[in-house]
Amino acid sequence: MARIYVSSTKADLEAERAAVLDWIARRHDEPVHSYVANTDTVRDSCLADVATCDAYVLLIASRYGTTAAEPNPEGRSITELEYEAALRKPGMRIVVLLVEYVSDPRLTDLRNKAVYGKLLDFRERVGAAHRPAQIDTLAELIPALEAALAAAVPRDPLADPEVQKIITRLTAQSVHKDERIEALTHENSELKAQLAAAISRTLGAAAAPGATAAQVGAAAAMRAGDTAPAQALLRGEEQAATDAALASDNPEAERAARRRAAGLARERGALAMQTDVAAAMEAFQEAAAHDPTDAWNGFFLGDMHVAVGDLAAAQAAYLAVHDQVAARAAAKPQSDDAARDLAASYNRIGAVRVAQGDLPSALSAFEADLAIAERLAARDPANTQWQRDLSVSHNKIGDVRVAQGDLPAALSTFEASLAIAERLAARDPANTEWQRDLSVSHNRIGAVRVAQGDLPAALSAFKASLAIAERLAARDPANTEWQRDLSVSHDRFGDVRAAQGDLPAALSAFEASLAIRERLAARDPANTEWQRDLSVSHDRIGDVRVAQGDLPAALSAFEASLAIRERLAARDPANTEWQRDLSVSHDRIGDVRVKHGDLPAALSAFEASLAIRERLATRDPANAQWRIDVAVSCSRFGTLPDLSSDTRLAHLRRGLGILDELAAAGRLPPNQDSRDWFKKRLKG
């Protein structure tokens, strides 16, 4: 998060200043500015504030501004002195915007020749030094500012390798290991940006001249995986901002302080999520209380409710934000920010509907999001962010269509997304985010083609994705996300080859994936996601070895997977995903033991798997998948020759009964309906 000083005269540029300050805050940077041009009290504090900032934005119109108090032999305005202070700071990024229109001639210096001469000299001076953007209408202001700051102040702390390293460490050692929390941290780009901003703020404060012992210590602790000191510092800054808001009698200053407090609370919440979900929830609630007008505070609060599984609370939070942004969008139909916030509300409501299993409602929400994205993209085809938003909207609808089983509609939607991704990637081949988006689009189309049984088309899509993943991974071998993407591409390619019966090609792809995952897992043994990926690679190789008839090699692969999963399950017995993985490993080993003829060892493996599955099903009887898993275990016992006929029949009856109950409740997915198999075995 950058501190950006906004300098301008106030009386003639009040609307422009408010727009700039608001936009910088929404950019999740920290706007800094003077509030009243009182030469006796403000001059020194303004110049000191400039020195603490990372960037300086100067708006100049037709007013020179208040002349600063002595010592000021040249009679310069506070605005010009602020500019000089910015020039003196090494590394200061300076952005200048020349406001060429006049809102109110009475607020200009056009009739004061002496002062107007100083203004012209000032404009000429900054114009020669900085190539300022010329603003002819208020509507041009924010787009020009956005373009200038994008070049002058890169705002993505995720690009910092040290920030990435700390994020990886924090998420890997998260104590709760709830898969929903992990998914939120990994997949929610806005929340991940807050985490990165908090890390960047902590590291930057420690590196700044005059850093306190507490700031240096917080950075050192964070590098070691302890965010508590950083959270304490953020809370202190948040309290200071809150106090400033309460003490201020200037509405503009109060709003700025509340926005700052909300931003600090969001960053604190992102850090707290890694160790204390309750503290994270409290932080996001406080952010929403500090600044209820910022829709993103409500979005983050809803995201946290999703993460802890409280979909009703998440829905309530998103609907409240939706009402707020819908009213703002209706009042300001030309506001792009209001439209994007409204689209974001539809997007999140749709995601909750998906999680609740209400696919028609989810589709309706995503289609509303798409309609807004289409309007924005059509309004400005050159705006790449809006084009990307449109691509993502198509993907959301495609995912729902897949879940509904409407594969032709899903394919059509994914192809629309692909077309946008291809245009963006072709426009800037060096943009790695767009290249990765293109790879993901190919993967989605490939998955649909697999589901349709069109394996050649699926293979073509996965090849295209793999080629992009290989280029990205080669470009930066240290980028672990791109390395993992490459391993996943190898897996998808291998899956199709296996389905086509080309087992050597499938094995080669899976071994390439395994090699990457072994390197990642060795690089950071504490990263549980990478450990789980490694176990999956061993499973895939084991499956191919079974199909090739190489049972010893298959058993070796499955046992390697089992060893990893035993460690993960022991590390966190409450992690249901890892427990289920462990049950699958026992099943695979049992299947190989059966083929080997080692029935006692097979029985032992199947019993271990069933014990896990029964515990999971008892823990949450409403979880249909866990009950289906128990039925799958029953199918294995029902065909095991080492058991008595009565025992086998009892297992088969139990498995069929589970599936019948789920089917009667409408909770048995068609692709997992194996009741005919059970009936056939019971008749035989």
| pLDDT-wise least confident of 110-114, 210-214, 364-368 | 110-114
The tokens for 326 are 């819908």
Q: How far apart are the C-alpha atoms of 13 and 20, rounded to whole Å? A: 10
3-class secondary structure, 101: coil
Residue with tokens 């994020």: 167
Q: Which residue has the higher pLDDT, 166 or 256?
A: 166
pLDDT score of 44: 64
pLDDT digits (tens, 9 = 90+) for 300-331: 888 888 877 788 899 999 999 999 999 999 99
Q: In a 3-state reduction of DSSP, which class is residue 644? A: coil
> Is 504 buried (19+), middle (13-18) or exposed (0-12) by CB count in 10 A?
exposed
CA quadruple 541, 543, 545, 547: dihedral positive or negative? Answer: negative
Look at residue 175 and tell me whether its pLDDT is greater than 50. Answer: no
Binned at pLDDT 50, 70 and 90, residue 189 comes out as: low
Lowest mean pLDDT among 93-102, 176-185, 515-524: 176-185
Residues 561-587: what's their mean pLDDT?
93
pLDDT cut 90: percent of the chain above it: 52
Structure tokens at 366: 């995503």
- What was the pLDDT predicted at 462? 97
Average pLDDT of span 623-636 = 93
- What is the spatial distance between Cα 259 and Cα 244, in angstroms, rounded to a whole number? 11
Residue with tokens 């009402």: 323
- Please list the residues that pair with 133 across neighbouring strands: 97
Burial class (CB in 10 A: 0-12, 13-18, 19+), 28: middle
**Could you report the per-residue pLDDT of 91-100, keeping only the tens digit for each?**
788 999 999 8
* Residues 205, 233 contacting (CB under 8 angstroms): yes
pLDDT of 58 over the 80 cut: yes
Give all strands of the β-sheet with 3-7 in edge-to-edge order.
30-32, 3-7, 55-60, 93-99, 133-135
Cα distance between residue 394 and residue 385, in whole Å:
14
* Contact status, residue 151 vs residue 85, Cβ threshold 8 Å: no
DSSP 8-state code for residue 138: G
Going by pLDDT thresholds of 50, 70 and 90, the confidence category of residue 382 is: confident
Please, are residues 388 and 437 in contact by the beta-carbon 8 Å criterion? Answer: yes
Q: Strand 3-7 vs strand 55-60: parallel, antiparallel, or unpaired?
A: parallel
Angstrom distance (rounded) from CA 668 to CA 678: 15
- What is the spatial distance between Cα 299 and Cα 320, in angstroms, rounded to a whole number? 10
Check residue 524 and give its pLDDT.
85
Tell me which amino acid residue 675 is.
Answer: R
| Residue 363 tokens, joined | 């589709």
Which stretches within 273-358 are classed as H helix? 277-290, 295-307, 311-331, 336-355
The DSSP secondary-structure symbol of 479 reads -
Contacts of 310 (CB under 8 A, 6+ apart): none
| Tokens, residue 362 | 């989810």
pLDDT value at 176 more than 50: no
- Mean pLDDT for the chain overall: 88
Amino acid residing at 199: I
Tokens read off for 307 = 């993460």
